Structure 1
Amino acid sequence: MDASLPAPAGHGLPQRGSPQRVLLVGASGFLGRHIAAALASQSHAVAPVSRRHGLDLARLDSPEAWQPLLVGIDAVINAAGILVEQQGQTFEAVHVRAPQALFDACARAGVQRVVQISALGADGSAFSAYHLSKRAADDALRRLPLDWFVLRPSLVHGADGHSARILMRCARLPWIPVLGTGRQRIQPVLVEDLCATVLACLRAPQARQTLDVVGPEPLTFAEWLQRLRAAQGRAPARLLHIPTAWAYAAAAVAGGLSPLLRRDNLRMLEAGNVADAKPLAQFLGRLPATLAPASGAGAAHAEGAAS
């Protein structure tokens, strides 16, 4: 912990390695489901928060709303996130107001350890509403006297992700469609490695860290789709290059059909999504894994669930 900051108040962390009671926000989403399973595998007790559990983040916009949920809680993980605003679920409500209220409530209740799952690109270069809203919550957490971790994943892949199914279908086509040249740089990470990072955050002696959670190597988007194709036991295919102007025109017309077709998401893909994997490897004590051929794994954006 930074010695210049006051020590967090409260009951302190349980002994490292001992089971904890964890409040998991976004528990019903892609990331939340995997994190809940990883927590259970280590005998941690999970207190889930999501719309499917009767708790709407849009209504949890004050520290007072969160305080009853923090009774008896040792640590908090915020895995909530949306890629598209819809049905009253906005970036401001889900990514900013609810997390800020939660973090303030943790400081008041003495719940020291907080893990915020943000996104790679939620930094000074952020331009999309998605990344800007994630960064706002990250910055709010960093200002508090808590034992915090901000995890910034690149594309997180797991076979049950919504975006995974879309990209896997694209990879199966006779000609694989790519935006422009297909050379946009990305660095996908296995969902298992993200979960391992979250578990490590619960027991790490040194908190107040921002970690980019990425795979072992950068890839182009075309290379990633070819790997997804190989993961399904298929030989490489030729690329179908979609002109960028056409893609943006399609986004204006059909952006509501899929998050991948939204204009901001196309812009984020063009901007690239890579980082140095060495700090994560040092934190985990090993290199992050890579997607194996014919493994059946898929890909998904770093998407939690406000539901």
Structure 2
Amino acid sequence: MNILLLGNGLIGSHLRDALLMRGHQVRLLSRHALAHPECQVIQGDFAALQNAADWLPHLAGIDTVINTVGIFAESGGQSFTALHHAAPQALFAACEISRVTKVIHLSALGAAIDAPTAYWRSKGLGDEALMQSKLNWTIVRPSLIYAPDGVSSRAFCTLASLPLLPDLQGVGKVQPVHLHDVLTLLVLLTEQPVAKQAIINALGPQAMPLTSWWQQLRQGMGLGRAITLPIAACLQNLAAKSTLLPLFQPDSLAMLRAGNYSDTAPFAAILGRAPQAAAPVNGMARDALLGWLLPLLKLSMALVWLCTAAVCLWAWPRADSYQLLADVGIPSAWQPLLFYGSVAMDSVFGLLCLLDLLGVPTRSWRLQWPLVLAYSIIIAIKLPQFLWHPFGPLLKNIPIMALLLMLDLLSPNKTKPKF
């Protein structure tokens, strides 16, 4: 079968591989797709194809069109209207002209022209455009999709791995669906006419409160149940004013409060079995825990450097600092320079830690742990009283150096050695 597959995101990329494995001819249109040895790749911006004439060259010789393009948040020229309504409407008109045999359109559970959020409304308008066509169409509306390698799923697993989970008051139930079941459905729809002009909701086995799903994710990762903390709706609304928490964005909250579930029986009937649980099966605890532990560790190191600089500069007596430098063997003429230089260096390292925490790669970890090691050796030799101090101020540098070395080795931007 000759298939035009639109989109190379989470679903599109997995579906491409599944279709190729089953011997289909796939033509892939995407903005960022790389060349592929087994399918024809077209570099194109879906949002720019706003007229039927723009689509006709891409539809030559095509039997089936599968549209998996979608965004959850607008950015730049990628708007809900362009991607979810205008471009699909032009595509469907071109499919009628080209007499495409079948159109499979990926929408979203909750899509409707009168839905409470712009995302759902734009999806509903796209669905309406297809339903008004004369094509043989199927609209697939998946619930929240769990995928082991998906960015949002990893974020949910990271949140679920926290020792204290938020229990959002006033939100509806969710019915997450596993990516494998969505792919199975799309392949079935591609290869056999399960239904003509039908809307199929792709859902997990059961609807549940969001907190219950997080507990299910914990169980799948091999973690025990977490304590939950009720979060009132008013506090959720306050958090929604921040751009730092995607879960608490106004549209996200509106969709959660509306609920995201439906009857799973029709979906199970098409699959020929019950949908599988939308949770890990082989454990992902390490990656999930690192998702929040690494930022916490980076923040703690930033505070160590910045607080050390502040204490030296404003809290600790300057004369005592100079005396320590003298005990190490630094001449008095050099003491102010070394003092202010160390304060500046501590401040710079603290700021670099914060930049790394914000996603700006600085690669400063590999400089920090040798510096702490050098400090420790000098102090152990010149000021041995700190080595044998009962509070262990110098011995505490050992776990700090181990932490810095770990942050360096786990840095995703670290250059791999060549063998």
Q: Same fold (TM over 0.5)?
A: yes
Residues 154-169 of structure 1 aligned to structure 2 (within 5 Å): 154-169=143-158
Do the aligned residues in 2 keep the contact of 1:84 with 1:259 (CA within 8 Å)?
A: no
1:295 matched to 2:244? The reply is: no
1:195 matched to 2:175? The reply is: no
2:222 to 206, 230, 233: 233
**Structure 2 regions of 5+ residues with no counterpart?**
34-42, 286-419
Do the aligned residues in 2 keep the contact of 1:158 with 1:297 (CA within 8 Å)?
A: no
For 2:58, the aligned partner's letter is L
For 2:131, the aligned partner's letter is R
Which residue pairs with 2:68 in the alignment? 79
Using CA pairs under 8 Å that are at least 6 residues apart, name the structure with larger relative contact order, 1 or 2.
1
1:102-152 Cα shifts (integer Å, max 9, x gaps): 111111101120001111111366221111111111111111111100011
For 2:273, the aligned partner's letter is R
SS in 2 for 1:81: coil
Which residue pairs with 1:213 in the alignment? 202
Question: Which one has the largest radius of gyration?
Answer: 2
Report deviation, 1:252.
1.6
2:231 to 239, 242, 249: 242
Instruction: Find the aligned partners of 2:253 and 2:101 in 1 and give their Cα distance.
Output: 37
Which residue pairs with 2:17 in the alignment? 37
* TM-score normalised over the length of structure 2: 0.63
Instruction: Find the aligned partners of 1:296 and 1:89 in 2 and give their Cα distance.
Output: 35
1:222-276 Cα shifts (integer Å, max 9, x gaps): 110011111211001011222222222222222xx45433201111011111110
Instruction: Find the aligned partners of 2:14 and 2:75 in 1 and give their Cα distance.
Output: 24
Q: 1:278 to 1:142 in 2, by over 3 A?
A: same
SS in 1 for 2:242: helix
Report deviation, 1:45.
2.2
Which residue pairs with 2:273 in the alignment? 286
Do the aligned residues in 2 keep the contact of 1:233 with 1:293 (CA within 8 Å)?
A: no
Q: 1:82 to 1:217 in 2, by over 3 A?
A: same
Structure number having the greater helix percentage: 2
Do the aligned residues in 2 keep the contact of 1:83 with 1:259 (CA within 8 Å)?
A: no
Do the aligned residues in 2 keep the contact of 1:170 with 1:177 (CA within 8 Å)?
A: no
1:22 matched to 2:3? The reply is: yes
Instruction: Find the aligned partners of 2:103 and 2:284 in 1 and give their Cα distance.
Output: 29
Instruction: Find the aligned partners of 2:106 and 2:75 in 1 and give their Cα distance.
Output: 21
1:51 matched to 2:38? The reply is: no
Instruction: Find the aligned partners of 1:86 and 1:111 in 2 and give their Cα distance.
Output: 32
For 1:236, the aligned partner's letter is R
SS in 1 for 2:241: helix
What fraction of aligned residue pairs are identical, expressed as a percent?
A: 39
For 2:265, the aligned partner's letter is K
1:281-301 Cα shifts (integer Å, max 9, x gaps): 122222211146643479xxx
1:177-226 Cα shifts (integer Å, max 9, x gaps): 23226x63011111010011111111333411111110111111011001
**Structure 1 regions of 5+ residues with no counterpart?**
1-19, 299-307
Which residue pairs with 1:185 in the alignment? 173
Instruction: Find the aligned partners of 1:199 and 1:171 in 2 and give their Cα distance.
Output: 31
Instruction: Find the aligned partners of 2:251 and 2:64 in 1 and give their Cα distance.
Output: 33
For 2:128, the aligned partner's letter is D
Which residue pairs with 1:171 in the alignment? 160
Do the aligned residues in 2 keep the contact of 1:167 with 1:225 (CA within 8 Å)?
A: yes
CA-atom RMSD in angstroms: 1.8
Report deviation, 1:24.
1.1
